[in-house]
């Protein structure tokens, strides 16, 4: 959410920044609502002053025995009281309307974020690893002989419909091992605090991180008003919702392995085969809450944490910075990490790491007390996948595939699989 005072003081600058996110003349409606709201507040304050003055004069008129003046003043008090209530009600309604409008506007991009309209305008920052050269034509994960016994889309469709999967046996075990590797690495080596959080949240938590009100169609709401989290970003970031913490509390670095739920609204016809785009999936999510002066440094650190998992698994990847038109709603800058999938012969997203500045903190009123004792300030928040477990499974299976349909598994997973090193063509571990 945006600071109305900053918009009021420099609307041209706000409009220019918002235009980079594809929103034109954003300040005009905002400032009109703000002006009306402030006028109602001023009118209420004036009426309140008149009411207070008349209330004081009522007693004097009664003491003098001036019944006419006493009656006039009592009527004036009643009139001003009604006027105050009406003005306050109108101001409250305008304030809510202004808040609702500000809630729908995306975050402002940092100056170094490249201009662009879509993914074609994203800029590559680095590559790691060399895609393997196969002496056979690699296939996608779901076509591997060793995978088919443990990855059942037909059963999932019977149970739940499309975009679900049932994992079993060795494939389910590899999937679990990947999540354990990620959590252990982030906790033991990257200094994150392991956290277990609910997957059902109140709507105000979704408002806090920006999923509501604009993107309600992308998530699932229960009949009693709870929402299924699209990512643990919602719960981890909202840990500071409504808090004023001490500066030495920062930074806070959290990691959680959770189920995630997305309706995939707008993705009809995209990635319908395999596990790449599911309604229910698992993700290891990183969230950092930092001092404003440290958030950009933290963004690079978190990107490195996600990259490190892929490097440990020996999976080639590239890191890109998203352009203004491809960046998420709440982000000021985003690094996408794309892993190489030989079955598709391309790189596909496996992590997005975003710095949000104070955008989410304003929505959830998360602040800190400066060490020098100054006025409380909004914290900065960051989030990123570390990593999407299902997509990591896809990458491990496709990059390690052999001509007979078996899979050589990364060495980093062997301890989590009791020393097993391969997914055999019959679907067992060996």
* pLDDT at residue 331, as a whole number: 98
* pLDDT at residue 46, as a whole number: 87
pLDDT (tens digit per residue) in 343-365: 999 999 999 999 999 999 999 99
DSSP state of 133: P
pLDDT over threshold 80, residue 9: yes
CA contacts within 13 A on the Cβ side of 92: 6
Among all residues, which ones are annotated catalytic? 262, 277, 349, 352, 391
Q: Provide the strand spans (E) within 156-313.
A: 166-167, 193-194, 200-201, 220-221, 227-228, 244-246, 252-261, 280-290
The DSSP secondary structure of 54-80, one letter per residue, reads HHHHHHHHHHHT-HHHHHHHHHHHHHH
- First-to-final CA distance of the chain: 52
Q: Which long-range contacts (CB under 8 A, 24 or more apart) does 109-112 make?
A: 109/17, 109/20, 109/21, 109/324, 109/327, 109/331, 109/332, 109/333, 110/332, 110/333, 110/355, 112/333
| Per-residue pLDDT band at 70 (split at 50, 70, 90) | low
**Token digits of residue 388:** 């999407």
Q: pTM for the full model?
A: 0.92
pLDDT (tens digit per residue) in 299-334: 999 999 999 999 999 999 999 999 999 999 999 999
Per-residue CA distances from 415 to 174, 176, 178, 401, 420 (Å): 11, 13, 11, 20, 8
| Per-residue pLDDT band at 61 (split at 50, 70, 90) | low
R_g of the chain computed on alpha carbons: 28
- Cβ proximity of 138 and 51 under 8 Å: no
Query: Phi and psi (nearest 5°) for 189?
Result: -115, -30
The C-alpha atoms of residue 319 and residue 313 are separated, in whole angstroms, by 16
């Amino acid at each position: 959410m945006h600071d109305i005072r900053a918009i009021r003081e420099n609307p041209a600058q706000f409009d220019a920044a918002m235009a980079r996110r594809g929103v034109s003349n954003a300040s005009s409606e905002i400032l009109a609502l703000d002006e009306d709201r402030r006028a109602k507040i001023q009118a209420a304050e004036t009426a309140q002053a008149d009411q207070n003055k008349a209330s004081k004069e009522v007693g004097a008129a009664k003491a003098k025995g001036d019944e006419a003046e006493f009656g006039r003043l009592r009527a004036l008090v009643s009139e001003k009281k009604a006027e105050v209530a009406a003005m306050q009600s109108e101001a409250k309604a305008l304030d809510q309307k202004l808040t609702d409008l500000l809630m729908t506007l995306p975050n402002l991009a940092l100056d170094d974020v490249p201009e662009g309209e879509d993914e074609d305008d994203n800029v590559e920052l680095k590559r790691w690893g060399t895609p393997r050269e196969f002496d056979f034509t690699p296939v996608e994960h779901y076509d591997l002989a060793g995978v088919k016994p443990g990855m059942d889309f037909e059963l999932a469709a019977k149970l739940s419909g499309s975009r679900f999967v049932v994992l079993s046996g060795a494939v389910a075990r590899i999937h679990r091992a990947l999540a354990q590797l990620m959590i252990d690495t982030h906790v033991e080596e990257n200094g994150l605090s392991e956290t277990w959080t609910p997957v059902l949240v109140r709507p105000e938590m979704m408002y806090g991180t920006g999923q509501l009100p604009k993107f309600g169609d992308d998530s699932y709401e229960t009949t009693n008003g709870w929402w299924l989290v699209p990512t643990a970003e919602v719960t981890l970031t909202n840990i500071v919702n409504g808090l004023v913490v001490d500066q030495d509390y920062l930074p806070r670095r959290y990691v959680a392995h959770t189920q995630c739920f997305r309706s995939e609204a707008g993705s009809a016809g995209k990635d319908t085969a395999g596990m790449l785009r599911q309604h229910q999936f698992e993700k290891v999510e990183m969230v950092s809450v930092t001092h404003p002066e440290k958030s950009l440094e933290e963004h690079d650190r978190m990107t490195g944490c996600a990259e490190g998992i892929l490097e440990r698994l020996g999976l080639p990847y590239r890191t890109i910075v998203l352009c203004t038109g491809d960046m998420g709603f709440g982000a000021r800058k985003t690094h996408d990490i794309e892993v190489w999938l030989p079955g598709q012969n391309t790189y596909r997203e496996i992590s997005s790491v975003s710095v949000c500045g104070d955008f989410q903190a304003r929505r959830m009123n998360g602040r800190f007390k400066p060490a020098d004792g100054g006025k409380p300030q909004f914290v900065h928040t960051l989030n990123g996948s570390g990593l999407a477990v299902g997509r990591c499974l896809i990458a491990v299976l496709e990059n390690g595939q052999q001509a007979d349909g078996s899979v050589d598994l990364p060495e980093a997973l062997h301890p989590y699989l009791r020393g097993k090193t391969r997914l055999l063509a019959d679907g067992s571990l060996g």
